[in-house]
């Protein structure tokens, strides 16, 4: 029995990707509504000219991944949306309690390969968990600027100042600006 969700529910992770157009969210949510699924958690974004969406959904048991997949296959044939469905275990459906402080890490600099890798490698080596990550290329064609923004949960005993100190050497090596600041978690 799950301590964070109702009993007798099957949970699924659904990922969607498509060339952007109006109506994608309506198409997906219509399928879920018709099937009687509950949309528990979701995130949507634009990546280049594509629309990407990740959802956690539930339905009273018995309900199968195959049933959900069949409905999304029909939607794919009608609209071209690419949809993937994965059944979730009981252990996967409960949100992880973040340990320590939450922080926002911002990186700005000349576009170059390896910025995300170098920053996230330093964080991973210190057991800093990334909760959200976004990148964007801004500036001009002549002077592109790479922006990396991530939210991270610091392990117990590690402060924002400790994290900033860890990333200090990367500022010099990558010729980028890096800032680390505390953020207050917001629950919807």
Of the candidate ranges 51-65, 90-104, 149-163, the one whose mean pLDDT is the lowest: 90-104
3-state per-residue secondary structure call for 68-95? HHHHHHHHHHHHCCEEEEEEECHHHHCC
Coil/strand/helix, residue 142: coil
Laid out side by side, the sheet with 144-153 consists of 129-139, 144-153, 102-110, 176-182
What predicted TM-score, i.e. pTM, was given to this entire model?
0.78
For the segment 135-148, the average pLDDT, to the nearest whole number, is 92
Confidence of residue 91 (pLDDT cuts 50, 70, 90): confident
Confidence of residue 146 (pLDDT cuts 50, 70, 90): very high
pLDDT at residue 96, rounded to an integer:
64
Q: 98 pLDDT exceeds 70?
A: no
Query: How distant, in Å, are the alpha carbons of 19, 27, 40, 72, 101 from that of 51?
Result: 6, 13, 20, 16, 31
Confidence of residue 93 (pLDDT cuts 50, 70, 90): confident
pLDDT at residue 181, rounded to an integer:
97
HSE-CB of 165 using CA atoms within 13 angstroms: 6
Tokens encoding 68: 């959900």
The proportion of the chain whose per-residue pLDDT surpasses 90, expressed as a percent, equals 82
Q: At which residue do the structure tokens 């500036």 appear?
A: 139
pLDDT tens-digit map of 16-67:
999 999 999 999 999 999 999 999 999 999 998 999 999 999 999 999 999 9
Domains of the chain: 9-93 (3.30.70.260), 102-182 (3.30.70.260)
């Amino acid at each position: 029995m799950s301590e964070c969700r109702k009993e007798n529910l099957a949970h699924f992770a659904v990922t969607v990707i498509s060339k952007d157009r109006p109506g994608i969210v309506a198409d997906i949510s219509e399928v879920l509504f018709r099937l009687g699924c509950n949309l528990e958690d979701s995130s949507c974004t634009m990546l280049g000219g594509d629309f990407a969406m990740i959802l956690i959904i539930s339905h009273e048991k018995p309900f199968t991944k195959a049933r959900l997949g069949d409905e999304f296959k029909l939607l794919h044939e009608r609209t071209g949306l690419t949809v993937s469905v994965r059944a979730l275990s009981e252990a996967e459906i409960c949100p992880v309690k973040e340990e320590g402080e939450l922080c926002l890490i911002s990186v700005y600099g000349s576009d170059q390969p390896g910025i995300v890798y170098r920053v996230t490698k330093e964080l991973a080596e210190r057991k800093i968990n990334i909760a959200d990550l976004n990148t964007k290329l801004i500036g001009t064609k002549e002077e592109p600027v790479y922006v990396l923004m991530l939210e991270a949960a610091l392990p117990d005993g590690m402060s924002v100042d400790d994290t900033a100190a860890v990333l200090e050497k990367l500022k010099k090596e990558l010729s980028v600006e890096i800032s680390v600041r505390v953020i207050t978690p917001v629950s919807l």
